[in-house]
Structure 1
Amino acid sequence: MKRTSILAIALTTIPMVVAQSTWAGQAPGSLSDPDIPVSHHDRVYAAEQFSNTVSVTDPADNRLVGEIRLGEPSPGNFSPLYHGQVLVHGMGYSPDHRTIAVVSIGSNSVSFIDTQTNAVKHVTYVGRSPHEAFFTPDGKEVWVTVRGENYVAVLDGKTFEEKTRVIVPAGPGMQIFSPDGKYGYVCSSFNPEVEVISVADHTIVGNVKQASPFCPDLAATPDGKQVWFTLKDVGKTQVFDARPPFALLKTIDTGPITNHVNIARNANGMFAYVTVGGLNQVKVFRTDDFSQVATIPVGSLPHGIWPSGDGSRVYVGLENADAMIAIDTLTNKVIATVPIGQAPQAVTYVPNAVPEGDGTQNTVPPGVAGQADHLMMVPAGTGKSAEQAAAPTSVALFDQGLVQVLQAAVTGLQSKQPYVLGLSNNPDGSGNVDVLANFMTNPAGSAIVNTIGQIRQVVTPGMSTTGDTRRYLVIAPQVAGKPGAPVQVQAR
C-alpha cells in the first residue's frame, strides 16, 4: 500500500515527466506495472526451429549477442538421439526475468536457461510435441501445452518437475494468463475451443468457441479485459472478454497464415500487433474499437512477436528471412533488422534479463545457423516478378551442411486442395515434375511445406557442381495422383 501511495503522489506532482518516461505496463504484465525503458540489460530471444538454436539480441543497439546451441542441424538427428534438442520452437520467461523456458517440439522438452549466463540449468521432458511454455504470474508454476496429446503439463516453478496435468481437448496450442494470475487461457490447434482454467485449482471454468480448429497463439491485454487469439488455418484473429462469462467480442479477417499476436501500449493507446505470414505483414489494431490503424511490410513469413518493456517497440521474427526486426510503435515503421538463426518461431523480449556484464557467456557465433538462401514463387503464366505478385510464396533453403531444409510459405492457392511442390527442368514448370513434397492447403488456400535434400545445388544459379541442368521449383495441383498443370513457378 505504501508503494502505491508514493506512486500516486509522483503521478500528481510530476505528470510531465511521467508522461514522457512511462506509458503503462506491457504484456504479459499488468497495467499497473512500471514500464522499463530499453537498455543494454534487456534481451530479445528467438527460438529457431531448423538450426536448433536460441538467438540472443541486445535491443539497445539491435545487435546479435550470439546463439545458444541446444541441438545440432538435421543430419546429426537421423541417428538415435540421446542428447540435444530438436525443432526448437516455443518460449516463455519467468516473472523475475531470470529464466527463459524453451520448448523443443521434436525432442518433447522444455529447456530452462539462465538469462544472465545463457546456461541451460535444467531440461524437463514432457509428452508428445509440446508447443509453448509460460510461467504463472506468481512464478510458482510453468504451464506447458502438450499439443500432440490432450493436456497441459503443470511444472513446479522452482524444481521444473511435472506435478500435475490439466486435461483439455486434444491439441492445446498455447496458454497465457490473466495479469492478476487468476485464469489461464488455453487455445487449441485441433479443436475449435479455447479453455479457461482456474489457476488456483486447475479446473476448467469456461470456454470460448474458435471460428476454426487451428489456434497457434494468444495474448491477454495488460488491463485484464481482453484475450486475443489467432487462427492460422483460416486467417482470422478473434477477441473475447477475459472475464466471465468470456463472451466473444470480435472476429477480424487478418489474412493467410495468421501467426502470432501480442499487445503493446504507448502514448497513443493500446494496440494488438498481428503477424500475417502469408502477406509478409504485421497488422495493427486498436483494442478499444478493434479498428485497423496500420499495415506494416516486414519481410518473409513474420511469426513470433513481443513488445519491449516500455511498449516503444515490438520485435518480430521473420521465419523465412532468418532475421529479427524492430518496429517503432509510435510510427509503426521498421527501424532495425538483425540477422539471426534459421526459421525463428516464438519471440520473447525480457527486460533487465542481464543485470551485470555483457551477457555473452555460453553463446556461439551463428555458423551454419546463419546460412540460408531465399527464393520466391509467383503465379505461373503471368510473367509477374516477385515484387509484382500480391502475395508471393516465399521459400527458404536452410543450410544443414551437405543438405538443406526447404520451407515454403505457400499462399494464393485453392482452399483445402491437394498440391505438390516439385522440380521441373523448365522455368515455366512444364514437362516432367519430380515431386519433393505433397501437401494439402488450409481453408485460406495456404500451407507451410517442408522437405529436405540437396536442393540448393540444383535450384540456385551457378551452384551445381556436377554439370547437371538447373532445375526450377514448381507448385502444381494433384490430378489423379500426379502433378497437373503448374500454378506457381520459381521467380527469376
Structure 2
Amino acid sequence: MITRLAALLLLSTAIPAFAGQAPGRAEAPDIAINKSDRFYTSDQFSNTVSVIDPSQNKLLGGIKLGEPTPANLSPLYRGQVLVHGMGFSPDGKTLAAVSIGSNSVSFIDTATNAVKHTAYVGRSPHEAFFRPDGKEVWVAVRGEDYIQVLDGKSFAPTARIKVPNGPGMTIFSPDGRYGFVCSSFSPETVAIDTKTRKIVGRMTQESPFCPDLAATPDGEQLWLTLKDVGKTMVFEAKPPFKALKTLDTGPITNHVNIVRRDGGQFAYVTVGGTNEIKVFRTTDFLQVATIPVGALPHGIWPSGDGTRVYIGLENADAVAVIDTAKQAVIATVPVGQAPQGVAYVPNAVPSGDGMTNLQPLSAAQNSAQLSLAGSDGKPVTQVTLFNQGLVQMLQAAVTGLEPKSAYVLALANDVKGETGIQPLAPFMTNPAGAAIVNAVGPIRQAVGDAAPDQRRYLVILAGGPDKPGTVLQTQVR
C-alpha cells in the first residue's frame, strides 16, 4: 500500500512538460534538451503533423491527418483539412492539432503518434490550448464568437464561453487564473476568469487581426501580434490589464513567444514580410536582435531550457533552429508543407524511439520558390508552389504595395506583364501594404517547366481581375 508521503514523493519526481519557459511558470525548473523531447509543426497544405527530434535537429517523420488537394475535395472525404493550430497538455502526453477546414481538433498521443480522439467544434477553429491544470482544453472558434471548452481527458464538449467575434487564440496565465483570448475579427482581447468563465478584463487591440499571443512565465505581461498592421502589443497580465507598449515589428507579423535565459526574459516575434525574427527584452521593450531565418516565419516555440528557439518557415517547408545565446540560426530541418502552429514538448517520448505510426514526408521536397520584384528590381514578394500532384497550391507573401488597395495576381505571356494577362487571384492589401494570397492550379508547369515559347510569368497588377491596371511587380527570372 502506497502511503500518502510516498504518493507525494512520486508526484514530486514527475517531470512536467511546462518548464520554466512559456507556457510554464518562471519558478518551474528548466528541462535540458534531450532525445525524449519532440518539436511538432502543423502542416497546412500536406495536412500532416511533422515530428522532429530536437536533440539531433532531425525530422523523424509525419503524422498523417488528411490528404492534399484535390483528394480532400471529395464529398466522401473523411480526413482533416488545413491542419493549422497546435497545443499540448501539461504532462506532455497529448498534442492538440487544430484543422481549420474540417472544424476539428485531433488529440495525438505523443508517445505513439496515434490519434486517440477527434473533436469536432464550430466553424473554422484556429488554435487550442490546455489549461495549466490539464482539466480543460479551450478551442478558439475563429469563424464564430465563442471558446469551445472540452474536457481535458475525454475531450467531450462541456461549455461555450462567448467572446468578441472571431477569437484567434487562447493562452493561459502561468498560474491558470486567467485565460486570454485575442480576436482576428474584432479589435479586442479579453481576460477570462477560468473558475467562473466570466470576462474580467478587456484590452483594446490597435487592429482587428490578432493571430497569436503569449503570456510571460513571470506572469506579468501578455504579448500579442497584429498581423494586418505589422505591430506587436504588450499588456499587463493582471488587472487592470493596462496597455504597456506597442511595437512596430513589420509586415505580416505572425507569432510571438517568450524565452527566459541568462537571468533575462525576451520576446521573439516572427515577421513574415521580412523573413526575420525580432527579439525584444521584456523589461524595457528594447529590441536586442534581428535574426534572418528564411521564407515566411510563422509559429515559434522555445526549448524546455530556453537555449533554442524553433520556427516554422511557412513558405520554405522547413524549421529554423536558433541558438538563443548566439542569436543565430544553427540548423534548418525539412518538414511538411506550409508549417503554421508549432509546439515544443519536453519529455514527450519518455521511453522508446517514438517512431511508431510515423510516415515519411516526401512531398515537401518538391515545392518550388519564386520571387516578384518591384520597379527597382529588388524582390519584395515571395511565392511558394506547394506540390499537390498534378496541381500546386500557390502561396504568395506579398509586400511592398499600397495599404488597403485592390490588386490581382496574374499570369502573363511576357516577364514585363504587357501581354496575355490571365488573372489568378484578386486580393486587398492590409494596412501595412501586405497580403497572403493563394491560388490552385498547374502553375509550376506554366511558370517553370514549360518550353520557352509557352512559358508564363507571375505578375501583380493594380486593380481587379475585370480591369487590371498597371503592372507593379514581376517575376524574377
Q: TM-score range by the shorter chain?
A: over 0.9
Q: Distance in 2 between matches of 1:304 and 1:46?
A: 8
1:67 aligns with 2:62: yes
Q: Among residues 419, 430, 455, which one is paired with 1:470 in the alignment?
A: 455
Q: Among residues 294, 297, 303, which one is paired with 2:289 in the alignment?
A: 294
1:223 corresponds to which letter in structure 2?
D
User: How far does residue 429 in structure 1 lie from its aligned partner after superposition?
Assistant: 1.7
1:280 aligns with 2:275: yes
Q: Among residues 393, 413, 416, which one is paired with 1:425 in the alignment?
A: 413
Q: Distance in 1 between matches of 2:285 and 2:466?
A: 45
1:362 corresponds to which letter in structure 2?
N
Name 1:376's counterpart in structure 2. Answer: 371
Q: Bigger CA drift: 471-480 or 191-200?
A: 471-480
User: How far does residue 91 in structure 1 lie from its aligned partner after superposition?
Assistant: 0.4
Residue pair 1:68, 1:118 contacting (<8 A) in 2 also: yes
2:441 corresponds to which letter in structure 1?
G
Instruction: Spell out the pairing of 1:169-188 with structure 2 (5 A cutoff).
Output: 169-188=164-183
Q: Distance in 2 between matches of 1:371 and 1:81?
A: 27
Q: Distance in 2 between matches of 1:161 and 1:371?
A: 39
Q: Distance in 2 between matches of 1:84 and 1:128?
A: 16
Name 1:491's counterpart in structure 2. Answer: 476
Name 1:242's counterpart in structure 2. Answer: 237
Name 1:78's counterpart in structure 2. Answer: 73
1:310 aligns with 2:305: yes
Name 2:12's counterpart in structure 1. Answer: none
Name 2:387's counterpart in structure 1. Answer: 399
Residue pair 1:193, 1:208 contacting (<8 A) in 2 also: yes
TM-score (norm 1): 0.92
Q: Distance in 2 between matches of 1:473 and 1:453?
A: 13
User: How far does residue 296 in structure 1 lie from its aligned partner after superposition?
Assistant: 0.5
Question: Which SS does the other structure have where 1:458 is aligned?
Answer: helix
User: How far does residue 480 in structure 1 lie from its aligned partner after superposition?
Assistant: 9.0
Name 2:35's counterpart in structure 1. Answer: 40
1:365 aligns with 2:360: yes
Question: Which SS does the other structure have where 1:317 is aligned?
Answer: strand
Q: Distance in 2 between matches of 1:420 and 1:365?
A: 37
Unaligned stretches of 5+ residues in structure 1 = 7-23, 387-391
2:469 corresponds to which letter in structure 1?
G
1:328 aligns with 2:323: yes
Q: Distance in 2 between matches of 1:269 and 1:205?
A: 30
Q: Among residues 431, 437, 440, which one is paired with 2:428 in the alignment?
A: 440
Name 2:105's counterpart in structure 1. Answer: 110
Q: Distance in 1 between matches of 2:100 and 2:245?
A: 31
Residue pair 2:401, 2:433 contacting (<8 A) in 1 also: yes
Question: Which SS does the other structure have where 1:74 is aligned?
Answer: coil
User: How far does residue 468 in structure 1 lie from its aligned partner after superposition?
Assistant: 5.6
2:334 corresponds to which letter in structure 1?
P
User: How far does residue 469 in structure 1 lie from its aligned partner after superposition?
Assistant: 1.1
1:123 aligns with 2:137: no
Q: Among residues 388, 393, 398, which one is paired with 1:410 in the alignment?
A: 398
Name 1:201's counterpart in structure 2. Answer: 196
Q: Distance in 2 between matches of 1:82 and 1:245?
A: 48
Q: Distance in 1 between matches of 2:340 and 2:250?
A: 18
1:448 corresponds to which letter in structure 2?
I
Name 2:440's counterpart in structure 1. Answer: 452
Residue pair 1:89, 1:104 contacting (<8 A) in 2 also: yes
Residue pair 1:101, 1:110 contacting (<8 A) in 2 also: yes
Percent of aligned positions with the same letter in both sequences?
A: 66
User: How far does residue 81 in structure 1 lie from its aligned partner after superposition?
Assistant: 4.2
2:475 corresponds to which letter in structure 1?
Q
Residue pair 1:268, 1:330 contacting (<8 A) in 2 also: no
Question: Which SS does the other structure have where 1:487 is aligned?
Answer: strand
Unaligned stretches of 5+ residues in structure 2 = 10-18
Q: Which runs of 4+ in 1 moved over 3 A?
A: none
Name 2:15's counterpart in structure 1. Answer: none
- Residue-by-residue CA offset, 1:351-380 (whole Å, 9 max, x unaligned): 000101111111111122432001111103
Question: Which SS does the other structure have where 1:485 is aligned?
Answer: strand
Q: Distance in 1 between matches of 2:467 and 2:39?
A: 45
Q: Among residues 49, 57, 80, which one is paired with 1:54 in the alignment?
A: 49
Q: Distance in 2 between matches of 1:344 and 1:430?
A: 35
Q: Distance in 2 between matches of 1:107 and 1:51?
A: 14
2:218 corresponds to which letter in structure 1?
D
User: How far does residue 383 in structure 1 lie from its aligned partner after superposition?
Assistant: 3.5
Q: Among residues 79, 83, 92, which one is paired with 1:88 in the alignment?
A: 83
User: How far does residue 82 in structure 1 lie from its aligned partner after superposition?
Assistant: 4.3
Q: Distance in 2 between matches of 1:49 and 1:479?
A: 28
How many residue pairs get aligned? The number is 462
1:221 aligns with 2:209: no
Name 2:157's counterpart in structure 1. Answer: 162
User: How far does residue 431 in structure 1 lie from its aligned partner after superposition?
Assistant: 2.0
Residue pair 2:149, 2:157 contacting (<8 A) in 1 also: yes
User: How far does residue 65 in structure 1 lie from its aligned partner after superposition?
Assistant: 0.4
1:414 corresponds to which letter in structure 2?
E
Name 1:147's counterpart in structure 2. Answer: 142
User: How far does residue 114 in structure 1 lie from its aligned partner after superposition?
Assistant: 0.4
TM-score (norm 2): 0.95
Residue pair 1:152, 1:168 contacting (<8 A) in 2 also: yes
Name 1:389's counterpart in structure 2. Answer: none
Q: Distance in 1 between matches of 2:333 and 2:108?
A: 22
Residue pair 1:342, 1:370 contacting (<8 A) in 2 also: no
1:348 aligns with 2:343: yes
- Residue-by-residue CA offset, 1:51-110 (whole Å, 9 max, x unaligned): 000000000010000010100011101211441100000000000000000000000000
Residue pair 2:408, 2:464 contacting (<8 A) in 1 also: no
Question: Which SS does the other structure have where 2:71 is aligned?
Answer: helix
1:326 corresponds to which letter in structure 2?
V
2:321 corresponds to which letter in structure 1?
A
User: How far does residue 428 in structure 1 lie from its aligned partner after superposition?
Assistant: 1.6
- Residue-by-residue CA offset, 1:116-137 (whole Å, 9 max, x unaligned): 0000000000000000000000
